[in-house]
Structure 1
Amino acid sequence: MADESRGAQPKHPQQLFFDNVNPATRLLEKRRQMYEVQDALENQKARFAKEEEQFRKKEEQLRAKDLQLQHQLCRFNKFLQDNEAKRRRADTRATEEAAQIRQKDEEIQDLEKQLEDSKNLCAKLEEEKERNMKYEEFLEFVKDTCDDYTEIGEIVARHDTLESANHDLANQQTESETRIEDLRNEFQAYRKEQEMEMMELRNKVAVLATELDSCQKTRQQLENQVNEATQEDSRHSLYFGQILMSVENLFLRCTTKRKNIQHATTPMDDEGAKGREGENGQEEAEDSFRRKKEHAHRQLKVILAYLKDFKDICDALKREQRTVMSKKGQAGLDQAVQLPELAIKFEAEAPRGGNRGSENSGSQ
């Protein structure tokens, strides 16, 4: 077919070369070539259509063969699945039958073992029967010789009763021994517990004795500190009394020897003292100390006022001396201005009655 297609192919027209021809001839030549190319194209299209038809038929044949192969493959796959299912069922059945065979074999072995045990038990019972025949003969002899029992059953019942009583007594003995052992263990545990408690109490007593010694030492130290604080307080009280007496002497000297200046009658800043006088819940000793302190504070303020006046007087005298010296001239400048020094003496004050003595004794 390929040879036929190659033989059917048209030959390309030969191209003629006209170098010296007119345009009409050349146009005719071009048209002739175009017709030839058109015929060749039509022939090529017919050939391609024929080949396409042949290819389509081959494709349909291949598609049909493919479908046939798919159907055969499905049937073969189904066949394989059925065979696999049958094989699995056969394997399962074989496994189950093997298990049943093993179970039956085990049951046969168990039954054979039970049969053997039963035979052995029968033999043992037979031997025990033969051994117990002498006891039966003995019981028959006892029944015939003793008038208390008329049947062998009565003798057996009596034996069972005595055996039951013996068993009960043995159980009671065992229970009593167990109870005695429990009581002994409880006693030992209680004894150990009491010994541990006694040991703990001894340890606590030792610890408390140590704490008591420590507390006694601490109390002795605190008593010593209290005695020292009491002595220190006595020294401070003495020093405070001396200060109060000195302030009182200065106050009396300022107020008695300079009667023309009365700073003691000038109201001082006692608002804080008045506010504190109204407080409640103060002890008597602290209240007395506070009153003495406030009284001394007021006296010190008065003494300060007198000292300020004295300082002002001194400053005024110095200014007057400078004025006088400036009037006298250059000669008077060489003279030194000496101011009289204020001689401060501490005079012992005569006792003024019982109130002053009580204050001094309180300060001491």
Structure 2
Amino acid sequence: SMAVPWEEYFRLALQEKLPRKIPEQNVHQFPPVLRLLEKRQELKAADQSLRAQKEVFQTTMAALQQRWEQLEQKEQELKGSFLRFDKFLQDAEARRSRALRRAAEEGHCAGRQEAEARRLWAQLEELRRERALLQRRLEHLAPCARLLGQVLERLPEFQGVPELVARFDSLADTQAALRRTERERLAELEAARARLQRLQDTWQDEVLWHGQRRAQLRERLEEARERTLHWESKWIQIQNTAAEKTLLLGRTRMAALNLFQVVCQHQRQPPNLDLEDTEGQLEQVKQFIQDLSGMLASLRQAE
């Protein structure tokens, strides 16, 4: 609803009803009583006019209020219409999306069906070509069939072509097995020959190596014999030298023992040292000689 400025409205209406300005000459011409009556009449007329304008204004405001309410109702209706239209657009968009998805799925399905149809058509063409090939092979094998029929007439032990073919397949398998066995035996024979050749080559190499080794050992044996003879002569020489040294040592020890015994006899003392203690014996002889030399020196001085 609209706020109505009543005071402002009445003030403006009163100003319109009242005279704008009283001329100066009229003010001075009328007496105060007449002017008062005139003012009352003007106020009464203004009041009546204001009441009439107030009624008109109230009527106008009521009409405006009713119009405003109608406009608000229209606005609400328009809002509802907008909402319903928006909902309609959303539903239409959803239906359009579903229709597009359905169309895409149908197109994809149609593509798969078309691809499957092409595959089946290609398979049919392949089967037709295979059928034609089998037909040509059948025509090509027709003489063989007639030949097998003639063979069956000459071989009554076979009941039919399948039995004859089975017998032939068995013989063919046996022949193939024999050929495989023969190839395996030939391969084993070749392997044995190769091993024998390797053994012969190895044996010859070993014989040659052993011959060389034997020659080397003979050379080393001769060298060892020469060294043995050399060291045997050295050993004999060493033994001879050792015998001479031993003889000299024995003579020296006997001489030292004789001197020691002479000293003991001269001193009239029994030998108090071991017979093998040559150093001790020589020490006793040395001491005796020193004592004897000292005595002789004393005697010379006394003379």
* TM-score for both structures, normalised by structure 2: 0.52
Which secondary structure does the structure 1 equivalent of 2:272 belong to?
Answer: coil
| Aligned with 1:311 (options 267, 286, 290) | 290
Which secondary structure does the structure 1 equivalent of 2:266 belong to?
Answer: coil
Q: Distance in 2 between matches of 1:249 and 1:191?
A: 83
- In structure 1, the residue matched to 2:185 is 179
- In structure 2, the residue matched to 1:350 is none
List runs of 5+ in structure 2 lacking aligned partners: 1-96
For residues 136-180 of structure 1, the C-alpha deviation after alignment (integer angstroms, 9 at most, x for no partner) is 45556666xx475499x6255224413421331232123212222
For residues 27-47 of structure 1, the C-alpha deviation after alignment (integer angstroms, 9 at most, x for no partner) is xxxxxxxxxxxxxxxxxxxxx
Shift of 1:317: 3.2
| Aligned with 1:225 (options 225, 231, 237) | 231
Matched, 1:126 2:131: no
| Aligned with 2:254 (options 229, 248, 258) | 248
**Structure 2 residue identity aligned to 1:114:** Q
Contact 2:261–2:271 under 8 Å retained in 1? no
- In structure 2, the residue matched to 1:329 is none
Contact 1:251–1:299 under 8 Å retained in 2? yes
Q: Distance in 2 between matches of 1:240 and 1:150?
A: 118
The worse-fitting range, judged by mean Cα deviation, of 202-211 and 112-121 is 202-211
| Aligned with 1:261 (options 258, 262, 267) | 267
The worse-fitting range, judged by mean Cα deviation, of 159-168 and 102-111 is 102-111
Contact 1:247–1:299 under 8 Å retained in 2? yes
Q: Distance in 2 between matches of 1:163 and 1:169?
A: 10
**Structure 1 residue identity aligned to 2:272:** P
Which secondary structure does the structure 2 equivalent of 1:259 belong to?
Answer: helix
Q: Distance in 1 between matches of 2:112 and 2:229?
A: 101
Q: Judging changes above 3 Å, is the alpha-carbon distance between structure 1 residues 129 and 259 closer, same or farther for their aligned structure 2 residues? A: closer
**Structure 2 residue identity aligned to 1:126:** Q
**Structure 2 residue identity aligned to 1:266:** P
- In structure 2, the residue matched to 1:169 is 175
| Aligned with 1:302 (options 273, 281, 284) | 281
Aligned pair count?
203
Q: Distance in 1 between matches of 2:291 and 2:106?
A: 142
Which secondary structure does the structure 1 equivalent of 2:265 belong to?
Answer: coil
Contact 2:260–2:282 under 8 Å retained in 1? yes
- In structure 1, the residue matched to 2:41 is none
For residues 49-73 of structure 1, the C-alpha deviation after alignment (integer angstroms, 9 at most, x for no partner) is xxxxxxxxxxxxxxxxxxxxxxxxx
Q: Judging changes above 3 Å, is the alpha-carbon distance between structure 1 residues 134 and 309 closer, same or farther for their aligned structure 2 residues? A: closer
Q: Which has the larger radius of gyration?
A: 2
Shift of 1:199: 1.5
Contact 2:253–2:278 under 8 Å retained in 1? yes
Greater per-residue helix proportion: 2
Q: Which protein has greater RCO, CA pairs closer than 8 Å, 6+ apart?
A: 1
Shift of 1:215: 4.0
Which secondary structure does the structure 1 equivalent of 2:240 belong to?
Answer: helix
Which secondary structure does the structure 2 equivalent of 1:260 belong to?
Answer: helix
**Structure 2 residue identity aligned to 1:317:** L
- In structure 2, the residue matched to 1:42 is none
Q: Indicate the percent of aligned positions where both proteins have the same amino acid.
A: 12
Which secondary structure does the structure 2 equivalent of 1:267 belong to?
Answer: coil
- In structure 1, the residue matched to 2:213 is 207
Q: Judging changes above 3 Å, is the alpha-carbon distance between structure 1 residues 163 and 188 closer, same or farther for their aligned structure 2 residues? A: same
Q: Distance in 2 between matches of 1:298 and 1:267?
A: 10
List runs of 5+ in structure 1 lacking aligned partners: 1-86, 271-294, 326-364
Q: Distance in 1 between matches of 2:197 and 2:245?
A: 70
**Structure 1 residue identity aligned to 2:271:** T
Q: Judging changes above 3 Å, is the alpha-carbon distance between structure 1 residues 107 and 171 closer, same or farther for their aligned structure 2 residues? A: farther
Q: Judging changes above 3 Å, is the alpha-carbon distance between structure 1 residues 138 and 238 closer, same or farther for their aligned structure 2 residues? A: closer
Q: Distance in 2 between matches of 1:321 and 1:233?
A: 51
Correspondence list, 1:258-337, <5 A = 259-262=265-268, 265-268=270-273, 295=275, 297-322=276-301, 324=302
Correspondence list, 1:91-130, <5 A = 107-130=116-139
Contact 2:260–2:285 under 8 Å retained in 1? yes
Q: Distance in 2 between matches of 1:140 and 1:116?
A: 34
**Structure 2 residue identity aligned to 1:122:** R
Query: What is the alpha-carbon root mean square deviation over aligned residues?
Result: 4.0
Contact 1:251–1:302 under 8 Å retained in 2? yes
Which secondary structure does the structure 1 equivalent of 2:277 belong to?
Answer: helix
Q: Judging changes above 3 Å, is the alpha-carbon distance between structure 1 residues 300 and 206 closer, same or farther for their aligned structure 2 residues? A: same
- In structure 2, the residue matched to 1:39 is none
